[in-house]
Structure 1
Amino acid sequence: MSQPLIIGTSYTAEIEDAERRINVVPPAGYDAGEAAHPLVVVLDGGLAQDFFLALGMERWNQLWQRSAPAIFVGVETVDRQRELLPPTRNAEEQERYPTAGNSAAVRAWLADTVLPLLRSEYRTDGRAYLIGESAAGHFVVETWAQTPGLFDGYAALSPSLQWDDQSLSRRVAGAEAENSPPLFLSLADEGGATEEGILRLAAGSKACLADRRGDVVHATTLHRLLPEALQFLLPTGADWLAEYGLKLNCTPLPDGDEAQ
């Protein structure tokens, strides 16, 4: 006997002259209950991208109560540089990524189309969190800086802050509003201008920096840091996490919070 394995729902939305899949998986017990949950929006969340990896880690977190239950949302990208990065004045980047530069349109699409769709289809508690890695991490930082109220918290994993000669970190470091939403920021072995941009942003903001230059490479950033980013954004207060090595390790932590 066999039956389909159904884990969620996939919606189609169009932007940039192409269809995008919005893949949604509610938390365990959602259909049988009445509880409302926050949205966790992961960029590069197509089925052929980071969807299954990110979803698996998010569900593993819930098994350990490392992060609170959430409605997991994977947003597919098609041309990552076009969709996730702003224009650049750097000639080498322009030549390598000639389509790049439309992040503002995608941000408006998230605000005007994707979030309203999700809130109309699911029991949300009003909160939403945005997570991205590499170029998507740049998009996260840019969103946090330019439209901070769009999401309630942000996680930028090894963001590509070398882009446009580090203009984003130069522009926003130390200039964010006092009540900016929480930002989890991570740094792996990127070095060079990427490292400079991330450290500048961390020094000039209240971001909680997970500095893993010694043991994480760029290719494993999502694998290693997503569980911790979720723990930062959606803490549970479970008192056994440190005993099992599930300690939040970023600095500085928000005022009044302690690593679990």
Structure 2
Amino acid sequence: MIAEIAALFLAAQSAPDFAPLVVGESAIVSVLDEEREINVVLPAGYADEPERQWPVVIMLDGGGQQDLMLGVGIHNWNRLWGRSKEAIWVGIETKDRQRELLPPTRDAAEQERYPTAGESAVFRDWLIDTILPLIAARYRGNGEVFLVGESAAGHFAVETWASGTDAFSGYAAISPSFQWDEQSLSHAISGQPANRAPLYVSLADEGGATEEGILRLVAALPDDQSWCFSDRREDLVHANSLHGLLPEALQFLMPTPADWLEEYGFVLRCEKRGLAAE
């Protein structure tokens, strides 16, 4: 018995010391009567390179219990392979996604299912007028700011792009919910969008009105606009489109001069693209 206690004591003495694993910084902010997280993950060399500046990626649905860790992990994996530039990663938590990310709808079924929906304009103004200046003042961004979203957040990204704002340097809309409001966003976008910022848009196997709306958007984009359309209807579903296409979206928005990417299968797959993206 004494020997067993002594062995346990020695094992405890030789156990390593564990410390908290610090991933980034977080703050609580409020908009549309809801408190939410803003989560920031800095590049690995941020503290050691005080003069260096980085691009900023704003990820919607970026709460700690949402897509933050997935996004950061994919971004870091891209960085390890040189697939896309290293960036300051900012996750914006959403609470009522249809209220915050989508405009009003005329569709009766959507109104009944999502009675609080329709305040994307308020959320966008808050993001541009409050959050972007906060991030710019606190962190060393290089002036490039990219907006990334999937599903309803993808609709928000395209709606923001189509608004003509110059707040963002580029956009990624992964499987955007273009069925919303009788596909009104795709109907509203003409052949000469006001915004010249790069746009990455993808389509999985959503089918129906979602597919119709996305294809209408793609058909409206002019050849002199920098854009990439990734058509993945044959190999991705809505549930795994973010996992499968975020690496590609980041590669499009923040390309590197790496010349080995194709050798390792890291191909930017654009079934259609604007001339400026080639």
- TM class by shorter-chain length? over 0.9
User: Is residue 2:212 matched to residue 1:196?
Assistant: yes
1:231 is aligned to 251
CA deviation string 1:73-106 (max 9, x = no partner): 1100000000000000110100010000000000
Distance, in Å, in 1 between the alignment partners of 2:190 and 2:173 is: 15
Asked if 2 retains the 8 angstrom alpha-carbon contact of 1:173 and 1:203, the reply is: no
- The answer for unaligned runs of 5 or more in structure 1 is none
- What is the TM-score normalised by the length of structure 2? 0.90
What is the CA distance between 1:112 and its match in structure 2? 1.0
Code of the residue aligned with 1:174 in structure 2: it is G
- Classify the secondary structure of the residue corresponding to 1:154: strand
What does 1:126-141 align with in structure 2 at a 5 Å threshold?
126-141=143-158
**Aligned-pair CA distance for 1:254:** 4.3
Per-residue CA deviation, residues 152-190 of structure 1 (Å, 9 max, x unaligned), is: 00000000000000000000141403x610000000000
Determine the structure 1 residue equivalent to 2:170. Answer: 153
Could you tell me whether the CA contact under 8 Å between 2:83 and 2:266 is conserved in 1?
A: yes
Partner of 2:67: 50
> For residue 6 of structure 1, what is the amino acid of its counterpart?
V
Distance 1:212 1:169 in 2: 19
d(CA) in 1 for partners of 2:232, 2:277: 21
CA distance in 1, matches of 2:200, 2:185: 16
> 2: distance between equivalents of 1:251 and 1:214?
13
**Partner residue of 1:17 out of 33, 47, 57:** 33
Which structure's CA Rg is the greater one? 2
Q: Secondary structure at the match of 1:150?
A: coil
Structure 2 match to 1:246: 266
* 1:253 to partner: Cα distance: 3.5
* Number of aligned residue pairs: 257
For structure 2, the residue ranges without an aligned partner over 5 or more in a row are 1-16
Task: Output the CA distance in 2 between the equivalents of 1:31 and 1:187.
Answer: 39
SS at match of 1:82: helix
SS of 2:127's partner is helix
Tell me if structure 2 keeps the 8 A contact 1:148–1:180.
Answer: no
Deviation string for 1:93-142 (max 9, x for gaps)?
Answer: 00010000000000000111110110011001111000000000000000
- Aligned partners of 1:147, 1:113: CA distance in 2, in Å? 18
Separation of aligned partners in 2, 1:135 and 1:125:
28
The equivalent of 1:117 in structure 2 is 134
Residues 229 and 180 (structure 1), Cα distance of their counterparts in 2 relative to 1, 3 Å cut: same
Instruction: Check conservation: 2:230, 2:272, Cα contact below 8 A.
Output: no
Aligned-pair identity (%): 60
Q: Is the 8 A contact 2:56 2:88 kept in 1?
A: yes
CA contact 1:42–1:131 (8 Å) conserved in 2: yes
- CA distance in 2 between counterparts of 1:65 and 1:53 reads 18
Give, in whole Å, the separation in 1 of the partners of 2:179 and 2:201.
15
